[in-house]
Structure 1
Amino acid sequence: MSRVFRKTLRGSGPPGGHRDFFAAEVAGLRWLADSGAPVAKVLAVSEDAIELEYLDTTRPDREAARAFGAALAGMHDAGAPRFGSPPAGFDGRLFIGRRPLSSIEYDSWGEFYARERVEPYLRPAREAGNLTAEDEDAVRAACELVASGAFDDDEPAARIHGDLWNGNVLWTSQGVVMIDPAAHGGHRETDLAMLALFGCPLLDEIIDGYQETHPLVPGWQDRVEVHQLHPLAVHAAGHGPGYGTALGRAARASSALARR
């Protein structure tokens, strides 16, 4: 019998809970798994709890890192109908961590990203005292440039994990397994930028494996801070002023890049 990892609303859900919290997680895991991506196996789910197969972790290694990069590229290439699309068949509320996540769909990545992935978190960040007025102004200015299409390209909507920080990347004896997605249709560079933001082990090896499967568009390294605006905004909304400062810095770098 498989060992079980159980999460409840008390320890994992948003304040007060929401009936869609674990349903959204399951929908995301299954949607990513449909692409062949390595994700945690769901054993049971209810409104109050989710049970996943327990995963024993091990040390990161280069072979697993390169295989994960290749799998990540394949997952992205599985695609999504539009930017902002929720997992197939799911029409409930999405979440990133404990915060609601929009599922409004767009044809333009830049407009979607600015309006639905950055701007919604600025007011709570200000109200929490984590974002200064000066930094908020810088972020809003960057959002206008992003929304105008300054970074739009011919890349189709990718099937992304959406919350791919190091804590959601588990190294096991069977390779990397992803947990806790905020899955939606987005830009593939966003997942990679989040891995970089929080310091994923062997990231260079992951990128190498990714590039061997689906090369990134030239200049992707310059756009990392653009794609970090979303996770920084989410963290600024509830995790301290250091994230607000980092968000302002990334916004100024994004604006400078857009004006080149």
Structure 2
Amino acid sequence: MTQTLKRRLAALELATDGVLTPLSGGDSGAGLWRVDGTTPCIVKQDSPQRVAGEADGLRALGDVCRDLIVPAVLAEDGDLLVMEALDGTGPRDAAALGAGLRQMHRDSREAGAEHGWPRDNACGLTPQPNASLADGRVFQRERRLLPLVRLCREQGLLDAALAERIERLAESLESWLPDVSPSLVHGDLWSGNVLFTPTGPAIIDPAIYRHYPEVDVAMLTLFGGPGDAFFEAYWNGERPADWERREALFQLYPLLNHLYLFGPGYLGSVSRVVDRVLAG
């Protein structure tokens, strides 16, 4: 594999002098290598559809991010994605992450834009449908919650009672969640997809679309928390009064995805966030 990969990189005029080091591909199961040479880079091998989706996401984020670093796409060739390698050994700067994410969400907000994205992509191993809808509440229901409920039911991971509660929650969104102009969101912004480089925070492995910006903030708090300095910089005095309810809502989709991918260990977490949303 190494020699084949080196030949492909040479054909792309990239990394011909580099040493290839295998890396963990994470939950996606993709092949992943670091190449240390004249131009250090990360090489990912995955399905052509997933490669195209990730490359599209990196380019879109790179176009709008001024204060967050996004790895440049160096080459895209079928099932191969070559990206700029980033140094993740910088100091943790939660305030810079909060300010950078705020800038990204603010500057990408478009009045009259629809929620979604021109192409489907993936969140982890799960296909992510992004066909656009004008109303964000409808998008959250029809493109995020209900498809995952159906997938989990088909796998026997959700009982009828909990599925019915989620469906009821999804149908109630118009009663409390305001419709807003969408922002570009990273879409899978857990802590493992944030790097702190010597020149500032960076974001990697996107699953982008346009939607409520709280999607990214809720994902950052799902398996821990980015800290008070992050929130002070991100909210900048504009924290929504119903943030706790929105946080629970926007954690439901990734938790359903984890339930679908990794099994019943996530069932309790799904039930708890449903309780939080329905309690208001």
Q: Into which bin does the TM-score normalised by the smaller protein fall?
A: 0.7 to 0.9
Deviations 1:86-122 (A, max 9, x none): 1xxxx44311112111122122211110111111111
Distance (whole Å) between structure 2 residues aligned to residue 163 and residue 233 of structure 1:
13
Instruction: Look up the SS of the partner of 1:95 in the other structure.
Output: strand
Q: Aligned partners of 1:131 and 1:2: how far apart in 2?
A: 47
Does residue 246 in structure 1 map to residue 275 in structure 2?
no
Seen in structure 2, the aligned counterparts of structure 1 residues 133 and 172 have a Cα distance that, compared at 3 Å, is same
Q: Which residue of 2 aligns with 1:74?
A: 103
Q: Which one of the candidate residues 106, 117, 134 is aligned to 2:133?
A: 106
State how far apart, in whole Å, the 1-side matches of 2:193 and 2:215 are.
Answer: 15
For residues 47-62 of structure 1, the aligned pairs below 5 Å read: 47-58=78-89, 60-61=91-92
Alpha-carbon shift at residue 154 of structure 1 (Å): 5.3
1:210 pairs, out of 222, 230, 234, with 234
Q: Does 1:83 align with 2:78?
A: no
Within 5 A, what are the aligned runs for 1:1-260? 1-9=38-46, 17=47, 19-36=48-65, 37-58=68-89, 60-61=91-92, 64-77=93-106, 78-80=108-110, 81-84=113-116, 86=117, 91-146=118-173, 149-153=174-178, 155-200=180-225, 202-212=226-236, 215-257=238-280
Task: Tell me which amino acid in the other structure corresponds to 1:48.
Answer: D
Residue segments in structure 2 that go unaligned for 5+ positions in a row: 1-37
CA separation in 1, counterparts of 2:91 and 2:159?
Answer: 38
Structure 1: runs of 5+ lacking an equivalent = 10-16
CA distance in structure 1 between the aligned counterparts of 2:161 and 2:183, rounded to whole angstroms: 33
**Other structure's SS at 2:168 match:** helix
Instruction: Report the equivalent of 2:27.
Output: none
The SS at the match of 2:53 is helix
Is 2:214–2:250's contact at 8 Å kept on the other side of the alignment? yes
Aligned position for 1:14: none
Deviation at 1:131, TM superposition (A): 2.2
TM-score for the superposition, normalised by structure 2: 0.79
Q: TM-score, normalised by structure 1?
A: 0.85
Counterpart of 2:26 in structure 1 is none
Deviations 1:48-67 (A, max 9, x none): 11111122222653xx2111
| C-alpha separation in 1, matches of 2:157 and 2:91 | 34
Displacement after TM superposition at 1:172 (Å): 1.7
Q: Equivalents in 2 of 1:105, 1:162: separation in Å?
A: 15
- In terms of mean alpha carbon deviation, does 67-76 or 125-134 score higher? 125-134
* Residue 25 (structure 1) shift: 0.8
Deviation at 1:129, TM superposition (A): 3.4
Shift in alpha-carbon separation, 1:154–1:129, aligned structure 2, 3 A: closer
Cα RMSD of the aligned pairs, angstroms, is 1.8
Structure having the higher Rg: 2
**Residue deviations 1:188-242 (CA, integer Å, cap 9, x gap):** 1111001000224x43221111123x72322213321011111111111111112
Q: Distance in 2 between matches of 1:22 and 1:250?
A: 32
Task: For 2:271 and 2:85, locate their aligned partners in 1 and report how far apart those are by CA, in whole Å.
Answer: 39
Contact conserved, 2:136 with 2:179, CA < 8 A, in 1? no
Q: Which amino acid aligns with 1:142?
A: L
Of structures 1 and 2, the one with the larger relative CO (CA 8 A, separation 6+) is: 1
Contact (CA 8 Å) 1:139, 1:247: kept in 2 or not? no
Percent identity, aligned pairs only? 32
Output the CA distance in 1 between the equivalents of 2:125 and 2:176: 29
Q: What amino acid is the match of 1:98? A: L
The separation in 1 between residues aligned to 2:241 and 2:205, in whole angstroms, is 30
Secondary structure of the structure 2 residue equivalent to 1:105 = coil
